[in-house]
Chains A and B, each alone.
Chain A
Amino acid sequence: GAGVSQTPSNKVTEKGKYVELRCDPISGHTALYWYRQSLGQGPEFLIYFQGTGAADDSGLPNDRFFAVRPEGSVSTLKIQRTERGDSAVYLCASSRQTSGQGADTQYFGPGTRLTVL
């Protein structure tokens, strides 16, 4: 079946602008995650959804970042008043569920490369 898809693949914006990044998870996956990967680093956790609700948003760097998943499928990561330091690859992942022993296997999308000029 289809994997996790993310749009756009690349986004260039100017400092101070608002951007939205979209993630379409694997069909049937109830858990959805956003990560951010800066140059030379591994992905860093931002937020986790179980169904429609954000179960953990502790990784969001500040209140300029917000994410929604209104129908429990597609998710949108929203960044207000973008700054140059927001430039990174934003990755989305999904999994079937979280098990009692910890996170289930996460399947990653191709990412959106955000460049803030």
Chain B
Amino acid sequence: AQSVSQHNHHVILSEAASLELGCNYSYGGTVNLFWYVQYPGQHLQLLLKYFSGDPLVKGIKGFEAEFIKSKFSFNLRKPSVQWSDTAEYFCAVGPSGTYKYIFGTGTRLKVLA
């Protein structure tokens, strides 16, 4: 069955630390990949997406993610986090030819000021 794994459930960082959140998926075909963020009290917002082309994609607020096809991974990175990045981050996969997203369980990030 198709699935998405986010290995880090809770991450605590100090401001200015670097961030990397893991995302792995199980699906052998072509996929579209997404990272969504949910700030406290707010709804899911798109952070970045990959459909095709350059596997290194840049999103809003200084976030980027790299698609490594051979590893079935789409890890999210940010060189220097801010307190305002405190949120829950969800990785989602949209297998080619389908329209439904498969979400990971999310990673709660807390950034200490």
Q: List chain A positions with a Cβ less than 8 A from chain B.
A: 31, 33, 35, 40-45, 48, 55-56, 59, 91, 98, 100-111
Contact = CB atoms under 8 A, between A and B. Distances in A.
- The interface residues of chain A, by DSSP majority, are classed as loop
B100 A33 contact: yes
A98 B32 CA distance: 12
Interface of B: 4, 30-32, 34, 36, 42-46, 49, 51-52, 90, 92, 94-106
Given A43-B103, A45-B101, A102 B94 contact: yes
Given A42-B106, A91-B44, A56 B99 contact: yes
Given A42-B4, A56-B99, A102 B30 contact: yes
A110 B32 contact: no
Given A42-B90, A101-B30, A101-B51, A107 B46 contact: yes
B99 A98 contact: yes
Contact of A108 (B32, B44, B105): B44
B101 A103 contact: yes
A44 B103 contact: yes
B103 A103 contact: no
B32 to A, nearest CB: 5
Nearest to A37: B103
Contact of B100 (A41, A56, A91, A110): A56
